[in-house]
């Protein structure tokens, strides 16, 4: 018992020392319990749990504000998949080194929703290559939320080696590192309110967002990863409407692969009050395969969210046609969620 008390005292003393020498340290997170059912298809355990924990610290230096963060899904210590970031914020923008916060992933689907994206419940097996596959690898990112007072935002991520690890390049084995290439991604946000003529119309509250990413192929016969998106989101009082187009080709390690996807995404959300919101969300995705064949997968979802007493209740009913880009395969998934943040 004395040893336990001593260890606790040492940890408390370390945190106290850290707070004095290196600024503030905070802990945030959330826990979410879900119940999910599939109409006419009972598979697996319907109960689920998601846990997120984040340590954040910051301090002011002569060069700007330095922040660090460590985010994990709850396994915490020993979690090799944890997100780490180390950033320096100045008046000219923020420079971040880390393995999370990819610039393309940030705008993968930004259409309004009360609860989840149309396929957030898992209904609809979509290719998620755009905006994913980058996080996990170490990157150097520059971001600025307001360039010279214009309201225009920009974020650019550069990956010297897209290997999915936080190791130095020399720490990886030659076999594991073979063929790994560099990658980059960017997004730009443009508020229309500052533009001549448009700024004085109902479109003045709208914002246009552009995103792009690419990576070199791992061999000359492989397909490179490349994608782009454009989105417009416009709030009108309690109503918010968004439309997004997306096209992307996934990174492939198969010889001669020619595969790409084109997506149309729609979101219409209405805030009944500060605690209650509903939305309709739609994703139409067309898969273009090697032989020129095409198949469309479509997911429609109704989302409801209600916050009461520190709890957020969420519900989604999502229906998918041609699930997994397989003709005639349909899916109807309903999800109930209870979430608490701290």
Residue 22 pLDDT > 90: no
Residue range 130-189, pLDDT digits in tens: 767 676 788 899 999 999 988 999 999 998 887 666 666 555 545 555 556 788 999 999
What is the band of 17 on the pLDDT scale with cuts at 50, 70, 90? very low
Residue 13 pLDDT > 50: no
Is 181 within 8 Å of 162 (Cβ atoms)?
yes
How many residues belong to the chain? Answer: 342
DSSP state of 223: P
Mean pLDDT, residues 285-309 taken together: 89
What is the band of 290 on the pLDDT scale with cuts at 50, 70, 90? confident
Strands 311-321 and 331-341: antiparallel
Residues of the chain above pLDDT 70, percent: 75
Position 21 scores a pLDDT of 47
Residue 46 pLDDT > 90: no
Lowest mean pLDDT among 19-28, 86-95, 151-160, 258-267: 19-28
Residue 256 pLDDT > 70: no
Mean pLDDT, residues 106-111 taken together: 92
CA dist 246 to 106, 116, 120, 170, 243, Å?
A: 13, 18, 17, 36, 10
DSSP for 90-115, please give it: ETTEEEEEESS--TTGGGS--S--SS
Is 331 within 8 Å of 38 (Cβ atoms)?
yes
Position 169 scores a pLDDT of 56
Residue 328 pLDDT > 70: yes
- Structural domains of the chain, count: 1
Domain assignment of residue 49, given as a range = 2-341
Q: Which of residues 189 and 325 earns the better pLDDT score?
A: 189
Q: Which of residues 282 and 23 earns the better pLDDT score?
A: 282
pTM: 0.82
Residue 1 pLDDT > 60: no
CATH of the domain at 287: 2.40.160.10
**Interatomic CA distance for residues 141 and 32, integer angstroms:** 30
DSSP state of 250: -
Is 285 within 8 Å of 308 (Cβ atoms)?
no
**Interatomic CA distance for residues 226 and 213, integer angstroms:** 6
pLDDT, averaged across the chain: 81
Count of other CB atoms within 10 angstroms of residue 239: 12
Is 286 in a helix, a strand, or coil?
strand
Residues of the chain above pLDDT 90, percent: 42
Residue 84 pLDDT > 90: no
Count of other CB atoms within 10 angstroms of residue 291: 6
Nearest 5°: phi and psi at 258?
A: -130, 100
What is the band of 3 on the pLDDT scale with cuts at 50, 70, 90? very low
CA dist 157 to 97, 182, 221, Å?
A: 10, 11, 26
């Amino acid at each position: 018992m004395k040893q336990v008390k001593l260890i606790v005292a040492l940890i408390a003393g370390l945190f106290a020392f850290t707070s004095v020498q290196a600024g503030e340290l905070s802990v945030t997170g959330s826990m979410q319990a879900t119940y999910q059912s599939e109409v006419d298809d009972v598979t697996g355990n319907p109960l689920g749990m998601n846990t997120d924990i984040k340590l954040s610290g910051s301090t002011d230096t002569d060069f700007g504000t330095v922040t660090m963060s460590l985010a994990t899904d709850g396994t915490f210590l020993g979690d090799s998949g944890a997100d780490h970031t180390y950033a320096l914020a100045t008046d000219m923008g923020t420079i971040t080194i880390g393995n999370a916060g990819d610039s393309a992933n940030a705008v993968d689907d930004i259409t309004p929703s009360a609860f989840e994206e149309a396929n957030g419940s898992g209904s609809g097996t979509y290719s998620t290559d755009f905006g994913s596959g980058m996080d996990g690898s170490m990157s150097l990112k520059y971001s600025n939320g307001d360039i010279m007072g214009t309201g225009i935002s920009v974020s650019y991520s550069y990956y010297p080696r897209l290997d999915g690890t936080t190791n130095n390049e020399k720490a990886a084995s030659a076999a594991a590192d073979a063929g790994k290439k560099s990658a980059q991604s960017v997004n730009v946000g443009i508020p229309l309110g500052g533009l001549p003529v448009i700024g004085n119309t109902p479109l003045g509250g709208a914002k246009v967002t552009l995103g792009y990413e690419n990576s070199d192929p791992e061999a000359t016969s492989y397909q490179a990863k490349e994608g782009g998106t454009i989105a417009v989101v416009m709030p009108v009082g309690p109503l918010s409407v968004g439309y997004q187009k997306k096209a992307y080709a996934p990174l492939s390690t198969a010889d001669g692969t020619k595969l790409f996807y084109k997506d149309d995404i729609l979101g219409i959300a209405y805030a009944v009050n500060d605690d209650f919101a509903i939305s309709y969300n739609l994703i139409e995705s067309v898969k273009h395969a090697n032989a020129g064949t095409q198949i469309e997968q479509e997911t429609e979802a109704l989302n409801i969210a209600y916050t009461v007493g520190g709890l957020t209740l969420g519900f989604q009913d999502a229906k998918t046609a041609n699930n997994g880009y397989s003709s005639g395969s349909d899916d109807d998934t309903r999800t109930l969620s209870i979430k608490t943040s701290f």
